[in-house]
Amino acid sequence: MVDLDLNNKQPMIMHVDLNSCYAIIEQQANRLLRHKSIGVAAYTTPRGFIIASSYEAKRQGIKLMRVQDAREIDPNIIILAPDPEKYFDAHRRFRAVLERYTDLVTPKSIDEFIVDFQGSRMVNEGYDLVDVGYRIKKDIKDILGEYVTVNIGIAPNRFLAKVAAGLDKPDGLNVITATGINNVYGQLNLMDLPGINHRYKVRLNLAQIFTPLDFLEAPMYKLKHEVFKSVVGYYWYLRLRGFEVDAQELATRSFGNDFAVHEWTTDREAIARYIMKLSEKTGRRLRRHGYQAHGVYLGLAFSDHTWLGKSRRFRESIYSTQELYSHLVKLLDVMVLPASVIHINISVFDIEPITPIQLSLFDGTRLDSRSLTMATDEINNRYGEFTVVPAKMANMEHIIIKRVPFGSVRDI
């Protein structure tokens, strides 16, 4: 591998980021919330965590924090519970706007999209991407509402496009080219770069890299062999210079759900009921995407700050909610609970497509769990989630409710 210059190609990658997504959608839906300090919290209780705040709240320093801490900063802040279906609808309409311009639209989260204009009709017809960006801003206001704003970044690769989209918030539009990289990096801190967390910052600092400009000027050999000690260093060398290394989409490897227990408990029957509903949510996602699994995992966090996790693999496939629940409860039965359970996490792994379906000896009999599961899923698809549920889930409508996904949008 040899040292590479900056990527001098015309910027064709656009990153579009909906500003303060959940908060601004709530403000768009309710005029009385506009120009006010609001926070959308996973739970509206004092210990609930704010997952999105309006720009009016952000200007006061209210970002990702507990509700009680936000109220100390602004006693008048309006705290709202999430409305997932409202955000999912906005995501779908957001995507439809972008797909008017090109088919190469990749959702990165519920409020972020990568739009690749390489080879698109608009570029071939001579449209300037900056003009296209402003047209997209107008279209989004027309479709999502006049209060909604987005930030747009345009660059030669996904990384720099995201960097550009993070500048001049809210409602900004910025372009990064090879000639402007040094100027942009000179305005930022290491933690402003997407993908740089505290752990990576420490690694870089130990190598005498303290700023994005230091990072850019570091030789490839140093990044690969001294800082990251793997090919990751080479990827960062390319990424910083505008070359694409992030376009590959990772395959799905598992499905899971978790739940923060409000009433901490050591009651195994109560824990099993939570596991049943988590099994139904996870099983529905597994089947909706056309998979079956060969492994299950159960993780429990306790009030004494300890954590215990157990997993098991199977030769036979796991498809139905009842199968998933049965295996998870067996894991629960062998766990020693040192204190009250405060958090439950389950997942299925070693997944594979369900087609072709291997026939069972019990197909067509009363022991045919796969057919029963498919029939139950069809009813729930038609009449609403949890219309038909196992008896153990009775009266759990308001427990482990639907939440907004972070990152993955495969279930929208």
Distance CA 320, CA 36 (A): 46
Alpha-carbon span 327 to 333, nearest angstrom: 10
Identity of the residue numbered 389: V
What 3-state DSSP class applies to 190?
Answer: helix
Q: Judge contact between 143 and 168, C-beta under 8 A.
A: no
**Is 323 labeled as catalytic in the residue annotation?**
no
State the residue for tokens 């506009």.
34
Query: Per-residue DSSP letters for 273-339?
Result: HHHHHHHHHHHHHHHHTTEEEEEEEEEEEETTS-EEEEEEEEEEEE-SHHHHHHHHHHHHHT----S
Coil, strand or helix at 268: helix
SS3 state of residue 242: coil
Distance CA 249, CA 297 (A): 24
* Distances, alpha carbon 312 to alpha carbons 198, 324, 326, 393, 408, in Å: 33, 11, 12, 24, 25
Closest residue by Cα to residue 120 from 129, 130, 133:
129
* Active-site residue, selected from the candidate residues 26, 72, 99, 112: 112
Q: Distance of CA 304 to CAs 57, 102, 271, Å?
A: 34, 52, 17
Helix (H/G/I), strand (E/B), else coil: 379: helix
- Classify residue 412 by burial, with Cβ atoms within 10 Å: 0-12, 13-18, 19+: middle
Query: Please, are residues 19 and 150 in contact by the beta-carbon 8 Å criterion?
Result: yes
Residues carrying an active site annotation: 112
